[in-house]
Amino acid sequence: SFTNCYPCAVVYRRFLFHQPATVLHLFHLFSGLALAAFNFGAQLYHSAVCILVQFLMLRLMGRTVTTVLSSFTFQMVYLLAGYYYTATEQYDIKWTMPHCVLTLKLVGLAFDYYDGGKEPSKLSLEQKSSALPSVPSLLEVAGFSYFYGGFLVGPQFTLRSYQKLVAGELTDCPGQPPNSVFPAMKRFGLGFLFLVIYTIFAPYYQDSYYLTDEFEVRPFWYRCVFILLWGKVMLYKYVSCWVIAEGVCILTGLGYNGMVDGKHQWDACANMKVWLFETTPLFGGTIASFNINTNAWAARHVFKRLKFLGNKTLSHVTTLVFLTIWHGLHSGYILCFSMEFFIITVERQAQALVRDSPQLTRLANSPLYPLIYVVQQFFHWLFMGYPLVAFCLFTYDKWLKVYSSVYFCGHVFFLMAYLILSYLRKALVPKTRTE
């Protein structure tokens, strides 16, 4: 399905780049509908209903808080109802998969339309770049929603970006299709490489193995290493999809991000920082490199709009709660995101300790660092895979069985670290540096 999007991008570049906006909206609309019909059949009506309702809200309710709240409520309730009525105890590819992407796109559209009615002085630079000066047409909203480069798995992008694409502005050659074939093929090749790796190793690291008697009788160290390798392989499924989809966006020009230091940038739709993902020894680094556009959407439309709470931690927790609900109704999502929050909290405290302690700073900069890096990477990927067990096994009875088999080592490790770090700070950080 993802590779089918590339011919659409080629047709757009070769034959439609100079066509009027109406023609381009229709092409994007029918290409996306064909993609939806191929994958989900008659169930494509779910997306059509939500797009139509969203347009009517914008048109009839105007630039009001009520519009934003109504959009948020309707789209999220529709998505959650879809999760409820299609729920199974395993990962399935069904209409709710692209619909969760569409939900964010339509809710973001309501926010951007609302921002367009504010005084420019009251908007951040980010909000100014995405605010809509006028209500879009139904055809425009439909083309934006069904655009083949982002319909199935993302990335998230704004209607303003889509409007620039249709206007032929997202190109390094004004008036001509962008010189983006090589950058697009690089992302396609990289995504295909990850897809090959996933295809080769996925049969050896299946979710179902966790629930077998064979896994239970394995030694503790084996179970931990399996979690580490399984987590890494499992994430390649997402990496491959997102990088291949990014290539489509680059090919059309939607990925164009201006010039930096005299070089044209094609990362506007990047959902992965692959090098950072592969090399960082930090949990925060992995999160910063993974699902970038969704995280940016949550930061822009949830976290930053909660400034009135006056508490960053509360805003962060609320954002994670939203992302948990957006992913689905299973208890595994709750545990995964709560573990993520706790792990990041502990890691930040540990980083602050290393930064403020002269002894630890010297150790981190010593010739021993390569060895430290290897050990750090082992624990990093072990405890990245650990919360993902709950994320992928969904239900309480399954993930509890796995965590029991490894003696809740992830919970114990980070709880102990959280309790010990304050004492280590007192012992290793000079008082003058903490005053």
Q: What is the mean pLDDT of residues 266-277?
A: 96
**Using one digit for the tens of pLDDT, what is the confidence trace for 278-331?**
999 999 999 999 999 999 999 999 999 999 999 999 999 999 999 999 999 899
Q: How far is CA 326 from its chain centroid?
A: 12
Burial bucket for residue 193 (CB in 10 Å: 0-12, 13-18, 19+): middle
Compare 216 and 91 and report the one with higher pLDDT. Answer: 216
H or E element at residue 263: strand 263-264
**Using one digit for the tens of pLDDT, what is the confidence trace for 178-222?**
999 999 999 999 999 999 999 999 999 999 999 999 999 999 999
What local confidence, expressed as pLDDT, does residue 2 receive?
74
Angle CA 340–112–130, to nearest 5: 85
Q: What is the mean pLDDT of residues 160-170?
A: 97
Peptide bond before residue 155 is cis, with ω within 30 degrees of 0: yes
Instruction: Output the average pLDDT for the chain.
Output: 95
What local confidence, expressed as pLDDT, does residue 92 receive?
72
Q: What is the pTM of this model?
A: 0.94
Q: What is the mean pLDDT of residues 377-403?
A: 96
Nearest Cα neighbor of 243 from 166, 148, 149 is 149
Confidence class of residue 3 from pLDDT cuts 50, 70 and 90? Answer: confident
What local confidence, expressed as pLDDT, does residue 311 receive?
92
Q: What is the mean pLDDT of residues 399-418?
A: 97
What local confidence, expressed as pLDDT, does residue 434 receive?
44
What local confidence, expressed as pLDDT, does residue 433 receive?
45
Q: Which of 39, 46, 271, 291 is catalytic?
A: 291
What local confidence, expressed as pLDDT, does residue 431 receive?
81
DSSP-assigned states of every residue in 153-196: T-----HHHHHHHHTT-S-SSTTS--S-HHHHHHHHHHHHHHHH
Burial bucket for residue 317 (CB in 10 Å: 0-12, 13-18, 19+): middle
What local confidence, expressed as pLDDT, does residue 241 receive?
95
18 catalytic residue (yes or no): no
H or E element at residue 225: helix 220-252
**Using one digit for the tens of pLDDT, what is the confidence trace for 341-363?**
999 999 999 999 999 999 999 99
For the chain, the residue count is: 435
Q: What is the mean pLDDT of residues 382-388?
A: 98
What local confidence, expressed as pLDDT, does residue 197 receive?
98
327 catalytic residue (yes or no): yes
Q: What is the mean pLDDT of residues 136-144?
A: 98
What local confidence, expressed as pLDDT, does residue 64 receive?
96
Q: Are 387 and 339 in contact (CB under 8 A)?
A: yes
Nearest 10 degrees: CA dihedral of 404, 409, 411, 414? 180
Please report, for the chain, the start and end positions of each structural domain, with discontinuous segments joined by +: 18-166, 330-435
Can you tell me the distance from the alpha carbon of 272 to that of 290, in angstroms, rounded to the nearest whole number?
5
Whether the pLDDT of residue 435 is over 50: the answer is: no
Q: Are 239 and 274 in contact (CB under 8 A)?
A: yes
- Percent of the chain at pLDDT above 70? 99
**259-260/263-264 β-pairing:** antiparallel
